[in-house]
Amino acid sequence: MEKKKKQFFRTIPGKTLLFLVINLLAIIFFGCICASVACIQEDLYNITEEEFYQTKDDSNVYYDVIDQTEYLIGIDNYHVDNMSIRVTGKDGKLIASTRDFDDVSQAAGKSGEFQNYKLYTYDIKLVYGENGEYKHSHDRYSEPGDIVVDATVEAYTDPVLLSQYSAFDRQVIHFVIGVRYAVYPVALLCLIAGIAAFIALMCVAGKRPGTEEVFLGPVGKVPFDILAAVTLFITFGLFLLSGATSRQIFEVLIFAFAFFSFLNAMLGLCVSLSARIKLHMLIKGSFVYKFFKLIIKGILAVPLVWRTIIILGSLSFLELIVIVGTRADSEAFVIGWFLEKLVLYPFILYIALMLRKLKISGEKIAKGDISYRTSTKGLWGDFRKHAVNLNSVADSVTLAVDEKLKSERMKTELITNVSHDIKTPLTSIINYASLIGNADPSDPKLNEYSEVIVRQSEKLKRLIEDLVEASKASSGNLEIVPAPLDCCMFVSQTAGEFKEKLESANLSLITTAPEGPVMIMADGRRMMRIYDNLMNNICKYAQPGTRVYLTLEAADGKAVTTFKNTSSAELNISAEELVERFVRGDASRNTEGNGLGLSIAKSMTELQGGTFDISIDGDLFKVTLSFPISQPAVTEK
C-alpha cells in the first residue's frame, strides 16, 4: 500500500495534488498571518468587540465633523445630512452654524427622529489669511502672517449613521475576534504540513512511476537561470500591475493572482531545481556557465602570445579608464604608469614566448614524437629546468619504448625457443613409440627404441623441471636457507666433480683460491646448483684443447668467484641476452641444453644477496660471482 502511494505521487495527478495542497496550506497560513497582524494593529487582544466599534465610531465622528466644518465656515447656515454643527470662538461668539442646530439640540436624546443623537465637542484651530479670508481649520500648517483663532465645535449626530462598517464587515470582524487566539496554532500546523508536502514534492521531482530514472521533460531543455529570470520577471510584473490599477477591487484581484502565480512559479522552479540537482546538471546546464565556458574556450583558442597581448592591452585600457575616472592628473603618476608598462610588458611577453616553446615541446611529446628535443637556447631559470625535464622525459620514453620492443622481441624468441626445445624430444618420443607399436615383438631394435624414448623423456623432464625452477627463481618464490659457507670448498668440490667431464671435453681446469677460508652466508644446495650450471655451460661451449679458469679471491669485503673459458663458437650475442631464458650460445640450438642454466644461476645468485656479471671479450667468456664475506665461524678449543 505504501509503495502504491509513492508511485501515485510520481504521476501527474499526484504531483498536481501536492501543488494544490501546498497552495491551500499557503492560503490558510497567510490568512492567519494577516489576521494576527490586523488583531495586533487594532488592539483586539486587549479590548472587546463593543469597545472596538465604540473606538472606531468615535474616530469616524471626529473626522466627519472636522471635514464638514471646513465647508460650514465658508458657508453659514449650511445643512449637513445626519449631523448638526455649531462653531463658536473661545469668547462664545458664534462663528458658523447649520440651520437646524437649535432644533436638533433641543430634540436630541428625546423621542422622535433625533433620540439617538449625541453631543460631541472638539477644540480646533481656525486659520485666516492676512486679508481675513478663511483658509482652513484643524491642526494643519499655518504660514507667517496667518491669523490663528481657537474655536470650539459642537456636533449632534447618531454615530451609527456615520459608521463605515456594513453588515458583512461586522460579520468578518466578529469572526476574526472569535478566532484571534486560534490563528497561531493553525498557522504553525499549516507551516509544518506545507513543509512536509514541499519535501514530498521535491522527492518525486523528475521521477516517473515504475522507474528510478530522472526526467526533466520539455522545460528541462531551457537553462535554469533563464527559466528563473523569465518567471521572476513575469510574476513581479503582475505585482507592479496590481499597484497601477485605479480600482481597489481590481488591485486586490490582480495582487491575489500575482501572489499565487509567484507561489506556483517558485514551486515549479524548485521542482526543476530538484530534478537538475539529481541529474548533476544544475551548474553545467545553466546559460551563465555555458556563456563563460564559450568565452574561455574562445580565449584559449587564441595563441598564447597573442592571448597575452590581448589580456595586457585590456588591463591597460581598464587602468586608463580608472585613471581618467579618478582624475589622477599628476604628471609623476602618469609617467610612472607609462614606465611601468614599458618595463613590465616586454618582460611578460618574453615569459609568454618561453612558455610557448615549452608548450610546443609538450605537445610534440604528447603526440608521440619522442625524437623531439626542446632547445634550451633563450630559456632561463625554471623555464630552462623545465625544458631539461621535458628532454629527460623524452629520453625516458625513448628508453622505455626500446625496452618494450626488446621485451617483445625476446618474448617472441622465448616462445620460439621453448617450442623448439619441447618439440624436439616430444617428436622423438612419438616417432619411436610409433615404431615400437608397429615393430615385431621379437625385433632386437626394440631395446634401442626404448632407450631413445627413455633418454628423450628424461631430457623433456629436465627441461620442465628447469623451467619451473627458473620461474620460481626469477619470481623470488624459491626457498633459500642461508648458512655460513666456505667458498674454497665449492672451488675444490667443483674441480673434483667435473674432472672427468672436463677431460672428456678436452679441457684443462686451472683453479686458484686463498689458503684460508672465505666465509659467506648462502644456501649450500643453491650454490652448488649455480656452480654446476656454470661448469656444464663451460663443458658444452668451451673450445676443446683450451684452458678453463676457476678463480676465488677476497676483495673489498666480498668473495669474488670468476669462471673463464674460450668459446668454441663466435659470440655474436650480448651478455644481457645470454642470461635470458631459453637463450643459448649456438643460435642453431644443435647442442645439448635448454638455455636455462645461466638464467637460473643469475636468479639464484641475486636471491642470496650476490651479484652475477657476464662479460664477453672476443671469444673470451667470463662470469663473475660476488657475495659479501661474513665473519668466520669461531670454534671452541
pLDDT of residue 132: 63
For residue 519, which of 542, 489, 477, 493 has the smallest C-alpha distance? 489
pLDDT-derived band of residue 627, with 50, 70 and 90 as boundaries?
A: very high
Report field, pTM of the whole predicted structure over 0.95: no
Cα separation of 150 and 88, whole Å? 9
pLDDT at 626 over 90: yes
Provide φ and ψ at 98, rounded to 5°. Answer: -75, 155
Question: Which triple of cell numbers denotes residue 310?
Answer: 590581448
Provide φ and ψ at 134, rounded to 5°. Answer: -70, 135
In the predicted model, what is the mean pLDDT of residues 379-389? Answer: 75
- Tell me the per-residue pLDDT of 322-331, one tens digit each, with 9 for 90 and over: 766 666 556 6
CA distances from 105 to 114, 272, 290, 545 (A): 9, 72, 83, 164
Cα separation of 386 and 389, whole Å? 5
pLDDT at 636 over 50: no
pLDDT of residue 634: 43
Provide φ and ψ at 384, rounded to 5°. Answer: -65, -40
Query: What residues pair up with 264 in beta bridges, in sequence order?
Result: none
> What's the longest Cα–Cα distance across the chain?
173
In the predicted model, what is the mean pLDDT of residues 382-396? Answer: 76
pLDDT at 564 over 90: yes
pLDDT-derived band of residue 1, with 50, 70 and 90 as boundaries?
A: very low
Strands (E), 225-279: none
Determine what percent of the chain is predicted with pLDDT higher than 70.
Answer: 77
Q: Which residue has the higher pLDDT, 538 or 361?
A: 538
Question: How is 596-612 classified by DSSP, letter by letter?
Answer: -HHHHHHHHHHHTT-EE
When the pLDDT of each residue in the chain is averaged and rounded to a whole number, the result is: 76
Contacts 24+ apart (CB under 8 A), 218-225: 219/268, 219/272, 220/272, 220/275, 220/276, 223/285, 223/286, 223/287, 223/290, 224/269, 224/272, 224/273, 224/276, 224/282, 224/285, 224/286, 225/286, 225/287, 225/288
For residue 50, which of 161, 173, 146, 207 has the smallest C-alpha distance? 173
Question: Which triple of cell numbers denotes residue 372?
Answer: 623531439
In the predicted model, what is the mean pLDDT of residues 81-87? Answer: 83
pLDDT of residue 581: 43
In the predicted model, what is the mean pLDDT of residues 285-312? Answer: 72
The set of residues, in sequence order, having a beta carbon less than 8 Å from that of 607 and lying 6+ positions away, is 473, 476, 478, 480, 526
pLDDT-derived band of residue 635, with 50, 70 and 90 as boundaries?
A: very low
- Tell me the per-residue pLDDT of 397-438, one tens digit each, with 9 for 90 and over: 778 777 777 767 766 655 666 665 666 677 777 877 777 777
Q: Per mean pLDDT, which range of 178-182, 372-376, 535-539 is the poorest?
A: 372-376
pLDDT of residue 130: 66
In the predicted model, what is the mean pLDDT of residues 49-69? Answer: 77
Query: What residues pair up with 208 in beta bridges, in sequence order?
Result: 211
pLDDT of residue 560: 94
Cα separation of 531 and 493, whole Å? 10
pLDDT of residue 508: 92
